[in-house]
Structure 1
């Protein structure tokens, strides 16, 4: 099976010690975000966990614990955008993150890491030309360290509107112009562009529009085929295989203004103060009334040899 860590928060950036402790103890507890007393308990054991998916803006805190991950398949998405502290107040320096990306690529291998340049929005400061210059510089620096770059344009979810008033959707015409140039630059740098939940409009320019995190990506990362149960994407327009997320909403301290997973910053900081690196839960601990469900787990690796 696959364990995911990155749809609700940034575990490598802020909770690396906790995750390392979970790997050492061999299990993790996750509250249902819509029914907190329903708790899913997962074994963290390479005999049943074929791969762990990460999505982070800063992998560096996890580097000291990489030995604990050696027995697991891994796939990492590292998000590096051109925005400043006005948009991403707690994201580290981008030049340092580019170097961290390359170090991580050397650790896990080029087939186990992808770059996310998203979400894209346009403003007086972050113009279309600004994005093109920034993307070209970053892509040139990351050439040879990844084969994949994921892009998406900002979605105006309720939380985004509250934390980022005044931001506008990118018009369709500018999406096409920017998408085409990004695809051209990425191709020059040996990368395939995967639009995230953006439909098929950019396929005519060479984008791979089938989803940004597919089973085939995990298979390339671990070097083995898998037989997986059917599962829907996180959204109707999402074709990705998202499963078993162990994070928690309202806990990412990057406090990016475009974030869909955080409420107001005050709630995030209050939640994060409840974190205990020794707890089975990312936030808090066991509570009276908890109903613990041990999730059935098995390896999805297909042991049959292929004639092809």
Structure 2
């Protein structure tokens, strides 16, 4: 399985302690965004995780946690744009973010740090000439530390359209987009960057550009081979994404309405009040991010390679699981023997059942 962390929120920036606790304990839980009462548990043991894709705008506080990921294949999608506090209010000064980008690249290698100049927003105050100038300035600073830059034009999602209208963002035609991508792409080429477009239905191949695969099966296979894995896995296209998206299937551990960057163009946040309310539920020791499990209402399922299976909670609610062996917050290392079994799903189910029992006992107290 490929883990996405996360398209829905910035886990490295805001929830790094939670993620590493999940790594240490060997599993995480996440809600189905289309059916929030459906909760999945997924193994995070290295043998079950093909790769982790991090999405972030500021992983500075996450760098000291990379030591816990040595057994994993992973890479970063790192967004750096030329916008100010009016559009990206909680992003640190760009010079600081650039320095973090450089530090991360020096730690894990430039192949594993992909720069996103994304989204491009054209306004009267930020015409194409503005982006050409700013993009080149960033290329000068970042190109020695990455091999690839992914670009896209802003999407006028219903959740973001009001804010985009406030800054008079322009909804460009296909021909206008073609000119924008051509101009940005030509600059990137001068700096030996592979420039790719994300989910854009524009004939960019004519410009010598590529369509992006942000969750990239080919890159993951390459990185896994570098770590000594000999298998040649094929990863299926993610049909849950837009038609023009080139990503392969992944499991996203994030939750909408939790990103505290508060960017004007964000598709993952509905309102500031919702973000504040959800973040109040953050518990770095909980399997779920910024969410509480409801024993009665939530359906809990074990995520497997080709689907999932339901956990029967009735026995727990009726207190018929007294014979279940308790697993008391065992460390990642002490669980190695259990994980080494041929099928780790038995362990994962036991772990989830124990978590459900703890919730039940807490409610009763």
- Scaled by the length of structure 1, the TM-score of the pair is 0.92
Matching of residues 291-306 of structure 1 within 5 Å: 291-297=299-305
Match of 1:150 in 2: 150
1:109 Cα deviation after fit? 1.6
Match of 1:85 in 2: 85
1:229 Cα deviation after fit? 4.5
1:99 Cα deviation after fit? 1.2
Q: Over residues 30-70 of structure 1, what are the superposed CA-to-partner deviations in whole Å (9 max), with x where a residue is unaligned? A: 01122222111011110110210011001111111111111
Match of 1:176 in 2: 178
Match of 2:295 in 1: 288
3-state SS of 2:68 partner: helix
| Structure number, greater radius of gyration | 2
Matching of residues 218-257 of structure 1 within 5 Å: 218-223=220-225, 225-229=232-236, 231-232=238-239, 234-257=241-264
3-state SS of 1:203 partner: helix
Q: Over residues 131-185 of structure 1, what are the superposed CA-to-partner deviations in whole Å (9 max), with x where a residue is unaligned? A: 0010001011111211110100011110011333343313334322221121111
1:210 Cα deviation after fit? 5.4
Match of 2:267 in 1: 260
Distance 2:287 2:48 in 1: 19
CA RMSD of aligned residues (A): 1.7
Distance 1:172 1:230, change over 3 A: closer
Question: Which protein, 1 or 2, shows the higher relative CO under an 8 Å CA cutoff with sep ≥ 6?
Answer: 1
On the 8 A contact 1:252/1:262 being kept in 2, the answer is yes
State which drifts further: 159-168 or 32-41. 159-168
Match of 2:129 in 1: 129
Match of 2:71 in 1: 71
On the 8 A contact 2:237/2:246 being kept in 1, the answer is no
Distance 2:215 2:196 in 1: 9
Distance 1:134 1:197 in 2: 23
Match of 1:205 in 2: 207
On the 8 A contact 2:236/2:249 being kept in 1, the answer is no
On the 8 A contact 2:119/2:154 being kept in 1, the answer is yes
On the 8 A contact 1:111/1:220 being kept in 2, the answer is no
3-state SS of 2:195 partner: strand
On the 8 A contact 1:29/1:40 being kept in 2, the answer is yes
State which drifts further: 79-88 or 228-237. 228-237
Distance 1:261 1:231 in 2: 18
Q: Over residues 92-148 of structure 1, what are the superposed CA-to-partner deviations in whole Å (9 max), with x where a residue is unaligned? A: 111111111111112222221210001111112222111001000101111121111
Matching of residues 91-106 of structure 1 within 5 Å: 91-106=91-106
On the 8 A contact 1:250/1:262 being kept in 2, the answer is yes
Aligned length: 298
1:254 Cα deviation after fit? 0.4
Distance 2:140 2:70 in 1: 29
Distance 2:2 2:213 in 1: 17
- Scaled by the length of structure 2, the TM-score of the pair is 0.78
On the 8 A contact 1:7/1:245 being kept in 2, the answer is yes
State which drifts further: 177-186 or 220-229. 220-229
State which drifts further: 268-277 or 131-140. 268-277
On the 8 A contact 2:54/2:76 being kept in 1, the answer is yes
Distance 1:24 1:170 in 2: 46
Q: Give 5+ residue unaligned stretches, structure 1.
A: 299-308
Matched, 1:187 2:195: no
3-state SS of 2:9 partner: coil
State which drifts further: 259-268 or 177-186. 177-186
